Chain A
């Protein structure tokens, strides 16, 4: 009991630093260490058992092979298209769902549920629905006299079709984020705008849109990073085909891994990492800076 008087000096902080340890060890060993290792192994020819240093050869190959370059371009297109559509559609749906509309609960649930469903299951289902002749989508279009395209068989279209399914599955998340943003806008702003005689459209563009910027920033960042990293949906729907028409960096990484080109696969990883860094860091800075001006 006498020791109590001395204890405060020797007693460690009530918020001990070792609380970081379990998380830090798992994260450092299984995430950080491989990330650093990838920087080296991307410069090697690698069989998992031994590696030969070959300098930048993997990267040279990555930017010389047309199908690998196409994978890079596809990745950016896919991320821009899917995140752009999620922003626009998600915002419109959220505006609709926060207005006085019929069956609001039903609409919210129905739009959100696909977010929770297995991506591979969704991919397989839409592959069947998008079949050029037997698929339900083209059969429905045929009823109204339109000859539907080969959604996944046309090389020009395949990537966009997969991006559309990505939007179908992910727009519910964008919508709930926007709903949270819309609910947080104080009613007074609309009241003031009404007194100034603003129309509904002016309301949207001069009040709602600027005040939704934080939500927009979140939606763009989340869905853009997600789009750049997408693998499962593309693999479930086209496996990067037809040809290499819908390959992305993530599917290239998997294909090279399967083929046993571990060094090249790892170089793909580094390329994706750099790509995300180059695009996302300035994007988030831009989104956050504009916010500061207002």
Chain B
């Protein structure tokens, strides 16, 4: 009797989550298969013909292959900023966990401030213009690093605290210099949390819309999230192309999800249990 009730409950849960969480994605895919006329109806219906390939070609070639440029830009920004984040955050987390100095309190405070305070947008633009890095890819990369450092440092610090100090002390006694200790001994041991960092931050930076909107204007610098505005205009939206584009930019997170689901969950729930 009890198992039958829980079976029914389970079925209900499957149906409910399917309706709420899966159908919107099915809708996106169906729209990507439709031609312009049918897509403009924006209803949940079976495509009358198979137009995915045509849509895809049109999305990719629109505005002088802007989507391709955007994918290259976004990938570059993601790759470089995540690399810098990993190295710099691990360095901070390492010293922060190992050495008690009077700076630690200040660093902790700055980490919390970084997690809470909304970035001051226009002053940042003004400053970046002064440094001549406004509207450039490297400027964007540095901004992403600055904004995401606190979270990465928190992940690293918690993990480094679990690595026995004796390991680096042994290396120091053997005469290794600080840089060698860090890059040859500590950093490799941090691999699990590095993977978590890479995955979580890549998804966040790849999906970032607001910061490129402010700091990286111009078509030549488009990032993938901004390409979605290619097909929305005052002259009418091409819904088939718009949804093909949405489907296209959902593929990278989907791949990450399929391969790194566990690391993402580990990263995002880090510290949640102990508070």
Interface residues of A (CB under 8 A from B): 12-17, 19-20, 22-24, 26-27, 29-35, 37-38, 41, 46, 48, 96, 99-103, 106-107, 109-122, 124-126, 128-129, 131, 134-136, 139, 168, 173, 176-177, 179-181, 184, 213-215, 217-219, 225, 229, 231-232, 235-236, 250, 253-254, 257, 262, 265-266, 269-270, 272-273, 276-277, 280, 288, 291
Q: Select which of A120, A134, A266, A277 is within 8 A of B228 by beta carbon.
A: A120
Q: Which residues of B contact A288 (CB under 8 A)?
A: 275
Q: Which residues of B contact A14 (CB under 8 A)?
A: 168-169, 172, 178, 181
Binds A, one of B47-55, B57-65, B85-93, B190-198: B85-93
Q: Which residues of A contact B153 (CB under 8 A)?
A: 23
B163 within 8 A of A: no
Q: Which of B213-265 contact A (CB under 8 A)?
A: 213-214, 224-225, 228, 232, 239, 242-243, 246, 249-250, 253-254, 256-257, 261, 264-265
B157 to chain A, nearest CB (A): 12
**What's the Cα separation between A124 and B243 when bound, in Å?**
9
A171 to chain B, nearest CB (A): 9
Q: Are A23's CB and B27's CB within 8 A?
A: no
Q: Are B142's CB and A30's CB within 8 A?
A: yes
Q: A31-B147, A34-B119, A134-B41 are in contact. List 9 more A-B contacts (CB 8 A).
A: A22-B91, A115-B268, A118-B253, A128-B27, A129-B24, A180-B273, A181-B273, A269-B122, A276-B117
**What's the Cα separation between A171 and B178 when bound, in Å?**
43
**What's the Cα separation between A30 and B128 when bound, in Å?**
8
A29 to chain B, nearest CB (A): 7
**What's the Cα separation between A254 and B214 when bound, in Å?**
9
Q: Which residues of B contact A131 (CB under 8 A)?
A: 42
B132 within 8 A of A: no
Q: Which residues of B contact A34 (CB under 8 A)?
A: 119-120, 123-124, 126-127
Interface string of B132-159 (1 = CB under 8 A from A): 0000000000110111010001000000
Q: Are B17's CB and A107's CB within 8 A?
A: yes
A284 to chain B, nearest CB (A): 9
B1 within 8 A of A: no
Q: Are B126's CB and A37's CB within 8 A?
A: yes
A256 to chain B, nearest CB (A): 9
Closest 6 CB pairs of A and B: A102-B10, A214-B275, A38-B120, A34-B123, A30-B146, A15-B99
Q: Select which of B91, B129, B275 is within 8 A of A19 by beta carbon.
A: B91
Given contacts A15-B99, A26-B145, contact A139 B43 (CB under 8 A): yes
Give 19 CB contacts A-B under 8 Å.
Answer: A14-B172, A17-B103, A19-B94, A20-B103, A22-B87, A23-B88, A23-B149, A23-B153, A26-B88, A27-B110, A31-B146, A34-B123, A106-B14, A116-B207, A121-B28, A125-B27, A214-B272, A214-B275, A254-B213
**What's the Cα separation between A280 and B116 when bound, in Å?**
8
B161 to chain A, nearest CB (A): 13
Given contacts A176-B269, A214-B275, A266-B122, contact A135 B42 (CB under 8 A): yes
Q: Select which of B28, B118, B124, B268 is within 8 A of A177 by beta carbon.
A: B268
Q: Are B225's CB and A269's CB within 8 A?
A: no
Interface size class of B (residues with CB under 8 A): 35 or more
B106 to chain A, nearest CB (A): 10
Q: Which residues of A contact B203 (CB under 8 A)?
A: 116
Q: Select which of A109, A225, A270 is within 8 A of B116 by beta carbon.
A: A225
**What's the Cα separation between A257 and B114 when bound, in Å?**
22
**What's the Cα separation between A217 and B272 when bound, in Å?**
8
**What's the Cα separation between A48 and B243 when bound, in Å?**
38
Given contacts A19-B95, A107-B14, contact A31 B256 (CB under 8 A): no
Q: Which residues of A contact B18 (CB under 8 A)?
A: 110
Q: Which residue of A lies closest to B204 (CB)?
A: A116
Q: Which residues of B contact A139 (CB under 8 A)?
A: 43-44
Q: Are B91's CB and A20's CB within 8 A?
A: yes
Q: Are B95's CB and A20's CB within 8 A?
A: yes
Q: Which residues of B contact A99 (CB under 8 A)?
A: 6
Given contacts A13-B99, A20-B91, A257-B122, contact A124 B242 (CB under 8 A): yes
Given contacts A30-B127, A181-B273, contact A111 B246 (CB under 8 A): no
Q: Are A136's CB and B129's CB within 8 A?
A: no
**What's the Cα separation between A126 and B246 when bound, in Å?**
12
Q: Which residues of A contact B22 (CB under 8 A)?
A: 110
